[in-house]
Structure 1
């Protein structure tokens, strides 16, 4: 039964493990999705691997980034930002309460999205016929998901996610713990990217919807909403 509710997963990680730079949630990847889905009649809940506080990547608060698609309005909205103070713990979520799950990005997710409880939750979403979606680094949360069939979730699926050329352009190649591009391929994903780095790019393969980079978050929302409305 449709719930008209979507679960959003965000990171609790606030810094890179190998270097001293801060990281966290890329705020626009939350707000661009959230605003579109909410405008189309969906309720949204936010959860994280550990529950509790969600740090924000400071680079996502730069003026030119923050002004995209109304993210600055959400940043000034105390009620909205308070949603990130005490998020639900993802492993304690009831799948039956939701129609879809969406993994946001930001480099923080590379350090805590490969979580056993989160992987099991995601498998339950997919195996029960629900939609699984992710953007940018968010597909890191899909890497360790094993379905009832015994196959990795991304095996033989058309997928995308933050590319290694984009990682190099962002000057994070030495800071990240792995190449998301390579890991998606290693698990049998049919990985593809846009013609140019940082161009919006969304891939839909049945109930699996992925976006390549921060500029793809709205497109992922559009694809998720369209898929849910078509049911």
Structure 2
């Protein structure tokens, strides 16, 4: 196995909504479903977050009857990596071939303006790595500039959590901005599924994005296909 084919899975540390009492964080299946695809290949992986340490899990994402969530959340290695995530500042992007930004509403606060996340994303993308993101995790791509000064997302085929989905989960008044609007503002070629909450992904060379939680497995599958099956 090529040791450089390691995945860096990045999660949020943010838990609070401005007015809601329940907590946000990582939407669990966006990590577990993606990793479940990598696990078939026995790919080594690390989990990181802006501050490192415990990755908070959105309470609402644990309740679901999801056998893949159960499998990995109760897996000692996976759980330990979630509870002791690497700090992004301590990550060496040379060690990874795949960067994957998980979602959960928390990412809307701590992903978009994180300079280390931007640096790692730029470095991996410009050095032949695969950059993938799902749902609100796509917010981490918004402000990534490449070495030539252009924005990574400009004129790229991209998806992410839609305005309609945000309204349907009644959090459009809570988030600091609407992801679909922010992507369009940066001239990303945004597209989405005709029906909200159905799996939907976009592929633009080495940039793979998924619209919503149910898209995480498709993103993982596409990453594997691009890395191994071409």
TM-score under structure 1 length normalisation:
0.94
Equivalent pairs, count: 228
| Cα deviation digits, residues 7-61 of structure 1 (max 9, x gap) | 0000101111354331000010000011111112311110001111111000101
CA separation in 1, counterparts of 2:129 and 2:200?
22
Name the residue aligned to 2:171. Answer: 172
Q: Is the 8 A contact 2:8 2:100 kept in 1?
A: yes
The within-5 A match list for 1:75-154 is 75-114=73-112, 115-154=114-153
Shift of 1:2: 6.5
Name the residue aligned to 2:45. Answer: 44
SS of the equivalent of 2:131 reads strand
Unpaired stretches in structure 1, ≥5 consecutive residues: none
Name the residue aligned to 1:198. Answer: 197
Q: Is the 8 A contact 2:22 2:59 kept in 1?
A: no
CA separation in 2, counterparts of 1:98 and 1:164?
32
Shift of 1:165: 0.3
The alignment yields a C-alpha RMSD, in angstroms, of 1.5
TM-score under structure 2 length normalisation:
0.95
CA separation in 1, counterparts of 2:180 and 2:73?
30
Name the residue aligned to 1:34. Answer: 35
CA separation in 2, counterparts of 1:175 and 1:70?
29
Unpaired stretches in structure 2, ≥5 consecutive residues: none
SS of the equivalent of 1:101 reads strand
Shift of 1:94: 1.1
CA separation in 2, counterparts of 1:207 and 1:167?
27
CA separation in 2, counterparts of 1:66 and 1:6?
27
SS of the equivalent of 1:137 reads helix
Q: Where has structure 1 moved over 4 Å in runs of 4 or more?
A: none
